């Protein structure tokens, strides 16, 4: 097995190697740190690498296994590395938000999800790059560089969790955490050829995560497989009394049920909005995977989604005042350090009236009610994950015949609505476009129905088989 094979292995595969003593945590972390050293300048995936702390944690994990004889079943994440978007606090490490404005901000305490991962024995490799303050779907960052796509380095990884997606796609981490306010985990997952999960609002605590928009922010997971996403969700889910959005519900084992039967599954296919203005190859790939569900016994049911004409405006009408409410305290002292696009967005927030904000919140309540009602007749909604493949660096618009669409709007067009409704949603690869770039499909489930959603996605993942080749990067040396 080469070092590259190890760096592209799934979390569950790595856990099996550690349990079998075929690999030590120290060797595993060394492998990733060397790969980060080799490819981070290209990928721009990491802002901060905590190598020394990671090696110390790896030695502790190896000692724990040797001393207590931990099995993989008891502690499947013991000694497994991960990384996290630089909005997520790790004590003693900067949380910059991807901006010069917070370059000197050192976290005094771990975020809830970091405490959960460390308690499980996992090892932080560092902090991932992002679109500054999560304000944008392209991932462009003038301060730390823009994270690029592992399949074509002249194209975007997608954002705003750009570095988290690039870290997994480039083999710099087996899994990573991001945030998702309008698709900022799921969209870069689709563009980068990996799995992206946004759980139900309140399933993963946001305590210790720098907010962008409290009403829409979700913590999300980027991984190589659906099973990995389920394993990580089980580690970080749970009630947090310090997070007002946190749900007081039991935590399940979210790893997909291997006996899950697709026969009888009711698949909702939106007849409006979600299959419009989309690359034809992405549509074909989506319909192919939907066909696999039908072949396995699922029934296909057309559904009418709520009217989407004003959905983006409604989302932004909530986003900008909430972003302003957090950043206003810093703008007086650091306005010149903020990025121009974000300052412009905050200025928009100042112009919106309380009436506009409250009206938008009422629309969101209606969206949640009407969308949830669809699940009386279906079990899952399926859509393309994004209407385009990864665009070139610097591109600003997408042309749809005579119509132009801002790039960020296009990237998140199929994902942002489910941040307003708060439903769990997962993106998995749907194939390789003729351009050589990944495509993705999105599955949306019932509130707190992550187990069934992940089991459905894993069953589809297995039926689809290996849809994407490994990105073509320089070969790694064989390790002993």
**Which of 274, 363, 269, 282 shows the shortest CA–CA distance to 316?**
363
Residue 59 token pair: 């030695």
Residue 198 bears catalytic tag: no
Q: What is the DSSP string of 158-179?
A: -SSSHHHHHHHHTTS-SEEEEE
CA–CA gap between residue 317 and residue 313 (Å, rounded): 6
Q: What is the DSSP string of 99-153?
A: SGGGTT-B-SS--HHHHHHHHTT-EEEEEE--SGGG--SS---TTT---EETTEE
Residue 416 bears catalytic tag: no
CA–CA gap between residue 206 and residue 179 (Å, rounded): 9
Gyration radius of the chain's alpha carbons = 21
Contact 456, 296 (CB under 8 A): no
| Identified catalytic residue from 85, 127, 198, 451 | 85
Instruction: Tally the C-alpha atoms within 13 A of residue 329's C-alpha that lie toward its C-beta.
Output: 4
Contact 157, 426 (CB under 8 A): no
CA–CA gap between residue 140 and residue 156 (Å, rounded): 8
| Identified catalytic residue from 10, 15, 160, 315 | 160
| Identified catalytic residue from 122, 184, 455, 459 | 184
Residue 4 token pair: 């590259």
Contact 421, 308 (CB under 8 A): no
Residue 136 token pair: 């944008």
Residue 315 bears catalytic tag: no
Contact 416, 312 (CB under 8 A): yes
Residue 282 token pair: 């992405």
CA–CA gap between residue 428 and residue 430 (Å, rounded): 6
Residue 16 token pair: 């099996």
Contact 249, 453 (CB under 8 A): no
Name the DSSP letter for residue 256.
-
Helix segments in 175-310, DSSP class H: 186-192, 226-236, 280-295
Active site amino acids:
85, 160, 184
């Amino acid at each position: 097995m080469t070092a590259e094979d190890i760096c592209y292995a799934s979390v569950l595969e790595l856990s099996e190697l550690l349990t079998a003593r075929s690999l030590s945590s120290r060797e595993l972390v060394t492998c990733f740190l060397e790969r980060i050293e080799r490819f981070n300048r290209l990928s721009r995936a990491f802002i901060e690498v905590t190598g020394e702390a990671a090696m110390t944690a790896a030695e502790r994990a190896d000692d724990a296994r040797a001393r207590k004889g931990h099995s993989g079943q008891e502690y499947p994440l013991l000694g497994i590395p991960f990384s996290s978007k630089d909005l997520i606090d790790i004590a003693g490490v900067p949380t910059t938000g991807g901006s010069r404005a917070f370059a000197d901000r050192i976290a005094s305490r771990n975020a809830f999800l970091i405490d959960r991962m460390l308690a499980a024995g996992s090892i932080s490799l560092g902090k991932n790059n992002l679109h500054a303050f999560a304000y944008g779907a392209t991932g462009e960052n003038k301060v730390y560089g823009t994270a690029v796509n592992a399949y074509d380095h002249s194209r975007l990884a997608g954002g705003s969790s750009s570095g988290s997606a690039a870290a997994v796609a480039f083999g710099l981490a087996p899994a990573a955490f991001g945030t998702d306010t309008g698709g900022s985990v799921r969209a870069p997952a689709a563009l980068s050829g990996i799995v992206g999960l946004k759980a139900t609002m309140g399933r993963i605590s946001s305590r210790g995560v720098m907010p962008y928009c409290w009403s829409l922010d979700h913590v999300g997971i980027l991984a190589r497989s659906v099973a990995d996403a389920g394993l990580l969700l089980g580690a970080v889910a749970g009630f947090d009394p310090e997070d007002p959005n946190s749900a007081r519900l039991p935590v399940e084992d979210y790893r997909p049920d291997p006996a899950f039967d697709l026969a009888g599954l009711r698949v909702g296919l939106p007849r409006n909005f979600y299959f419009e203005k989309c690359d034809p190859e992405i549509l074909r790939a989506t319909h192919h995977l939907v066909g696999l569900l039908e072949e396995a016994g699922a029934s296909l049911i057309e559904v009418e989604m709520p009217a989407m004409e004003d959905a983006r405006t409604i989302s932004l009408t909530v986003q900008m005042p909430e972003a302003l409410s957090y950043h206003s305290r810093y703008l007086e002292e650091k306005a010149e350090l903020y990025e121009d696009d974000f300052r412009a967005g905050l200025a928009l927030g100042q112009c919106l009236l309380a009436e506009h904000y409250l009206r938008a919140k009422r629309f969101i309540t209606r969206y949640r009610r009407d969308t949830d009602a669809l699940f009386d007749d279906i079990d899952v909604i399926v859509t393309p994950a994004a209407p385009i493949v990864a665009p070139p660096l610097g591109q600003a618009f997408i042309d749809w015949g005579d119509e132009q669409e801002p790039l960020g709007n296009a990237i998140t067009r199929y994902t942002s609505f489910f941040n307003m409704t708060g439903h769990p949603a997962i993106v998995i690869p749907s194939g390789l476009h003729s351009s050589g770039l990944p495509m993705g499909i999105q599955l949306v489930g019932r509130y707190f129905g992550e187990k069934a959603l992940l089991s459905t996605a894993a069953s589809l993942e297995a039926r689809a088989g290996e849809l994407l080749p490994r990105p073509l990067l320089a070969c790694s040396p064989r390790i002993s």
